[in-house]
Amino acid sequence: RRDTSAEAVNALLREASRGRLSGLLGYTEEPMASVDFNHDPRSGIVDATQTRVAGGRLIKLLCWFDNEWGFANRMLDVTRRLARLPPAPAGSPDR
């Protein structure tokens, strides 16, 4: 384990939001309010201006999200993934 900083945490989250978590995780350094995230399809948007690190180890994040719209979009993702699965064989307990 090693100590970290708010800048290091934000750099990792910014990179994740642009890479493998693009479309799921957002990142902003702009001053925003909850109304700015209505109908945002992402699961969460990190408010980088509010990231804090205490004692090098305790990280506090503020993440915005639209709990209904973001959740509905994740359920749609799951449904699409399930639709790509092959059907269960005839006579199997999953059928």
Is residue 93 domain-resident?
Answer: no
Q: How many domains does the chain have?
A: 1
SS3 per residue for the chain:
CCCCCHHHHHHHHHHHHHCCCCCCEEEECCCCCHHHHCCCCCCEEEEHHHCEEECCCEEECCEECCCCHHHHHHHHHHHHHHHCCCCCCCCCCCC
Mean pLDDT by 10 residues, the chain (95 residues): 96 98 97 93 97 98 95 95 89 73
pTM beyond cutoff 0.85: no
Q: How many angstroms separate the CA atoms of 8 and 30, rounded?
A: 18
* 31 is a domain residue: yes
Assigned domain for 79 exists? yes
- The range of the structural domain enclosing residue 32 comes to 6-83
Q: What is the pLDDT of residue 95?
A: 60
pLDDT tens digit sequence for 25-51: 999 999 999 999 999 999 999 999 999
Looking at residue 94, its pLDDT comes to 67
From the list 4, 42, 3, the residue with the least C-alpha distance to 23 is: 42
pLDDT at residue 91 in the model? 79
Domain presence at residue 89: no
- Give the pLDDT score at 92: 78
